[in-house]
């Protein structure tokens, strides 16, 4: 349980850093971090929610997810999120291309963060980091 919570929080923090750094470099302004938080939670909310739900289900089954399963859950969340954003963008007066771009940017940053964080957290907790 502790590992999953730590994994989620750390992955979100690293996602904001990755996305904020990209936006700051592209714009030349440190204000990119505000856009990163905005785009992450506005255009990746369904994916993050699905990822957390899948992790919670595995924890409740008393079978913690492996690194590969956790990364697969993250990928499932990103794909489900992109489909949701596409449908919502098409319904809302054709805003799909711009919404999809933001969802793809947030999704890629989330996957990069998950690939960095998940193996490190699993390794730390496997080495006895889960002691009280």
Q: What is the C-alpha R_g of the chain?
A: 16
**Extents of the domains making up the chain:** 2-129
From 60, 69, 73, select the one nearest 122 (Cα to Cα): 69
Q: What is the pTM of this model?
A: 0.88
The tens place of each residue's pLDDT in the chain, 132 residues long, gives 788 899 999 999 999 999 999 988 888 877 778 888 888 888 899 999 999 999 999 989 988 788 999 999 999 999 999 999 988 888 887 777 888 888 999 999 999 999 999 999 989 887 765 544
DSSP category for residue 105: H
Q: List pLDDT tens digits, range 53-74.
A: 999 999 899 887 889 999 999 9
Q: Cα–Cα distance between 15 and 3 in angstroms, integer?
A: 18
């Amino acid at each position: 349980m502790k590992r999953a919570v730590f994994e989620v929080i750390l992955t979100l923090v690293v996602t904001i850093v990755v996305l904020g750094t990209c936006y700051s470099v592209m714009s030349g302004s440190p204000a990119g971090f505000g856009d990163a938080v905005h785009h992450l939670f506005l255009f990746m909310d369904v994916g993050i929610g699905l990822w957390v739900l899948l992790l919670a289900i595995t924890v409740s089954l008393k079978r913690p997810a492996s690194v590969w399963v956790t990364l697969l859950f993250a990928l499932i969340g990103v794909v489900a999120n992109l489909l949701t954003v596409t449908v919502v963008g098409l319904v809302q007066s054709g805003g799909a291309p711009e919404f999809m771009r933001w969802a793809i940017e947030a999704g890629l940053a989330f996957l990069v963060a998950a690939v960095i964080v998940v193996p490190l957290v699993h390794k730390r907790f496997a080495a006895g980091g889960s002691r009280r």
